[in-house]
Amino acid sequence: MKKTLFITLPLLLLTLAAIGQRAELHLVNNSARNLAIKIMQKNGLAADTLYSNLSILPNGRATEYFARTGYYYLKIEASLQGKESVYSKGNPFQVYVGTDGYSVLTITYSITENNVPNVLDGKRISKSEFERN
C-alpha cells in the first residue's frame, strides 16, 4: 500500500502541475497612443474567433494567459486625441502549452509620430476590419 501511494502521489502532482500551466503573452506599448487590442484565435478553415479584448495605456503593459496550444494574431487600434486612429493586423504566432513547458511571448508595439503614422510591424487594416469579431 505504501509503495502504491509513493508512486501515485508524484504522478498526481505532475498531472496537476501540467493542467495548471498557462502560456503568457506580454504586450508592451512603446507609443503615446492608447491601444485597443483584439487577440484573435485562428481556427483552420473555420472563421477566426475573438479570444480576448485588452486596452493598454500609452507606454503601458498588459499580460494575457492561454490554457491551450493554438495560433493567434492581434488586431490593434492605436488612438491618440487629435490624430487619426491607426489600425493594424499582426502576423500569426503560436502559443504552446504542454506537459513539457509553455510559451512566454513578448510583443512590443511601437509607432513613430509624424505627418503620416508609421507602424513598424503588421499590416494596415481598415476600421471595419478591426471591428469584425
DSSP 3-state assignment of 80?
coil
Q: What is the pLDDT, as a whole number, of residue 75?
A: 97
Tens of pLDDT, residues 68-89: 999 999 999 999 999 999 999 9
Q: Does residue 110 or residue 127 have the better pLDDT?
A: 110
- Consecutive H or E run containing 7: helix 2-19
Domain boundaries, the chain: 22-131
User: What kind of fold does domain 22-131 have according to CATH?
Assistant: Immunoglobulin-like (2.60.40)
Mean pLDDT of the chain, nearest integer: 85
Tens of pLDDT, residues 20-52: 689 999 999 999 999 999 999 999 889 999 999
* Residue 16: pLDDT band with limits 50, 70, 90: very low
Q: What is the pLDDT, as a whole number, of residue 119?
A: 56
pTM over 0.85, yes/no? no
Of 22, 46, 37, 39, the residue nearest 98 (C-alpha): 22
